[in-house]
Amino acid sequence: MPNFPFTDNMENATRNLYEAIDKNIKHNQDGSLSVFWLSVIPVVLISDHEAVRIVNNKTNLKKPYLYKLIDFGTGLLTSKPDIWKVRRKLIEPFFATKKLKGFVKVMNEEVTSFTEQLNGEIGKPVNLESQIHYSTLNIILKVVTSLPLKDSFLVKKAAVEIINEKTEYVIKRGANPFYWFDWIFRFFQFGRTYFKNKEDGEKLLSYALHRRKQLSLSNEPEDQDLIHLLECKVDEKGVFDEFITMIGAGHDTVAVALRWILFNLGNHLDKQERVYQELVDLFPDDTPVDDLDRINQCQYLEQFIKESLRLNPSVHGTAKVLEEDVTIRDKKLLKGSYVWTIISSTHRDPSVYPDPDKFDPERWTPENASKIPQGAFIPFGYGPRSCIGSRYAMAKLKIYTIQIVRKFSLKSTRKTESIPVKFEVTLKPVLPLEIILTPRNGNNNQS
């Protein structure tokens, strides 16, 4: 089996790791089980939907040690099972449908402002990466902390810098066991730079929590933000860890997904037109996009988004440490084994998705979607430790897409298949996802 080599080149590390895993998973003809050496650790790779269901069950909740390198402390993404169980139960009501219906109003306000800013980008190739990241971060900060947007500029700057550094450094650290230990990592210049920037950024994020305490906030349950919910049951360190986890996982994954959705719209103009015709019937002219029930009536839009998430998932894979022996296709995996679920490979299984590289939203009609087995579509993970905010993320992606497509037609400057990707914490394009925005003429009721 191929071994991922040590490297001093960051771009090579993130790019080579993606390619090595991809080649390794294809080494076995059935694509269900293979072994990959990440430095000194053998990692079992799975992609078959049956294996996904077996591994990601209610028993296997433990994350590998390498998740510690993401540096989210005891947050939901990286915490040990005992802490995770308590926090998950505490946070779940925050993402219930009733709360989500309130969130869409916050989302609509920010996305309306974001869409207006796009008027300055029309008629030329534009990479919306930074604009999208800051905009999605605006929403998560408002939802999690209730901080007014005017108070959050420095916080946003700190958050983006911390998250970018984490995603950039975690793969390089993971590839070299000497970098796993902080005291060794600090001997290297890039290690010292990482910890200095991390310390500065976390001071600003701590300031945000301090600033929030000075606000006069509603005590009504439906108006309470996530920090208020946590402060009642979790210590200060735990609140901070969940805060940084939510702004990291809650905006970076959505931002990457949205960039791919817009790029795919620009590569499939006939499908873009169909999305447009559907949404302007439900949201004509400048109708606010803040009614969750109406948003969810956009059936073809949801099909398009799901197909984009299938082919371009934000996360390449998730990892577990087996807490019991499991058997997959007559192969026994022992307790303590590291297992990675490779989402991008799961999503291209030809036995589930005929012509798997083809972009086809028709896979997601109610009739066709009912035939897709559990564990075969997992953009937000699978099992108990799947993403707690998946419905929140889908609502946000829909609102952005509705607002943008009803005001602009999109044309991509490259084909999707020509864009290589790199494996950081999220699965990111190596080249800019440039699109050309053209204002739609007349009102939104005309085709």
CATH number at residue 353: 1.10.630.10
Is residue 445 domain-resident?
no
Pairing of strands 33-38, 41-46: antiparallel
- Flag whether pLDDT at 216 surpasses 70: no
d(CA 159, CA 433): 22
Quick one: average pLDDT of 97-119?
92
- Confidence band for 150, pLDDT divided at 50, 70 and 90: low
Q: Which of 232-236, 246-250, 280-284 has the weakest average pLDDT?
A: 246-250
d(CA 30, CA 349): 9
Quick one: average pLDDT of 415-432?
86
Q: Which of 27-31, 78-82, 369-373 has the weakest average pLDDT?
A: 27-31
What pLDDT score was predicted for residue 149? 59
pTM exceeds 0.95 for this model? no
What pLDDT score was predicted for residue 162? 66
Mean residue pLDDT across the chain: 85
**Who has greater pLDDT, 346 or 60?**
346
Q: Which of 11-20, 56-65, 143-152, 180-189 has the weakest average pLDDT?
A: 11-20
Is residue 375 domain-resident?
yes
Which of 395, 394, 399, 391 minimizes the C-alpha distance to 108? 399
Structure letter (DSSP) for residue 168: H
What are the pLDDT digits (tens) for 248-282?
Answer: 787 889 999 999 999 999 999 999 999 999 999 99
Is residue 174 domain-resident?
yes
Is residue 217 domain-resident?
yes
AA letter at 261: I
Quick one: average pLDDT of 129-153?
80
- Confidence band for 97, pLDDT divided at 50, 70 and 90: confident
Q: Are 337 and 44 in contact (CB under 8 A)?
A: yes
Q: Are 240 and 206 in contact (CB under 8 A)?
A: yes
- Flag whether pLDDT at 212 surpasses 90: no
Is residue 203 domain-resident?
yes
**Who has greater pLDDT, 397 or 2?**
397
Quick one: average pLDDT of 82-94?
92
Token pair for residue 289?
A: 């996009």
Is residue 1 domain-resident?
no
What is the extent of the structural domain holding 419? 10-439
Is residue 356 domain-resident?
yes
Q: Are 430 and 17 in contact (CB under 8 A)?
A: no
Structural domain total, the chain: 1
Token pair for residue 341?
A: 């679920």
Is residue 3 domain-resident?
no
**Who has greater pLDDT, 121 or 166?**
121
Rounded to 5 degrees, φ, ψ at 35 are: -120, 140
- Confidence band for 142, pLDDT divided at 50, 70 and 90: confident
d(CA 102, CA 120): 30
Indicate the Cα dihedral angle 391, 392, 397, 402, nearest 10°. 90
What pLDDT score was predicted for residue 276? 98
- Confidence band for 181, pLDDT divided at 50, 70 and 90: confident
Q: Which of 292-301, 340-349, 364-373 has the weakest average pLDDT?
A: 340-349
| 298 has binding-site annotation | no
Quick one: average pLDDT of 49-76?
87
- Flag whether pLDDT at 99 surpasses 80: yes
